[in-house]
Amino acid sequence: MQQQSRSPLTVWRHWLWLAVLVGTSVAFTLGLACAVPLVAFAAAAALTLSRRNGLVLIAAVWLANQLVGFAVLGYPWTARTFAWGAVLGAVAILSTVAGRWAARHSTDAGRIISYTATFLVGFVVYEGALFAFSATLLGGTEIYTAAIQGWIFAVNGAAFVGLLVLHRLAVSVGFAVTPAIGPSMTESHA
């Protein structure tokens, strides 16, 4: 397969866009500590980036969260904390892959349904996998209450909408490209 050459300006904008998203995740980490909305970033990446770039982004968001957590927020340097960090990274990647699957399989249903399905599938996979790790290896199932899960869902949902709005603004000024999967965020459906 022959790869298209992209202008240096396009490449520069692309990497700058990914850096803006990682910077946004750092702001979330500083504001929410360990509750960074990884599902929101995974779902937004699944809808707006290529598979490779979506995975690069979610890995960078996870890494930025971990670096800020350990260097600034004082996460404890314990084996359990490092294990949870690794689990969060793996589950965020899994959530991104699941979100891409949902996006590919729901594009014919329309933009709102496709975006909603992508987010919901990503959320269920993310929280389901975290619960499985909690129940079998790392403990912590006490956080799986309706109130806590509702708050996590709300934070991720709001962040997801915000990331989609940020992407739409970036596309409108030529800073980002239209989504790699599904209906364009700028396209209207009759």
Confidence band (pLDDT; 50, 70, 90) for 184? Answer: very low
Residue 180 placed within a domain: no
Residue 182 placed within a domain: no
The number of domains in the chain is 1
Q: What is the mean pLDDT of the chain?
A: 86
Is residue 122 within 8 Å of 95, Cβ to Cβ?
yes
pLDDT over threshold 60, residue 183:
no
Domain that holds residue 85: 9-172
Residue 185 placed within a domain: no
pLDDT over threshold 50, residue 1:
no
Residue 1 placed within a domain: no
CA distance 43 to 39: 6
Residue 188 placed within a domain: no
CA distance 133 to 137: 5
Output the pTM of the full model.
Answer: 0.85
Residue 181 placed within a domain: no
CA distance 84 to 126: 13
pLDDT in tens, 50-80: 999 999 999 999 999 999 999 999 999 999 9
Residue 179 placed within a domain: no
Share of the chain above pLDDT 70, in %: 89
Residue 189 placed within a domain: no
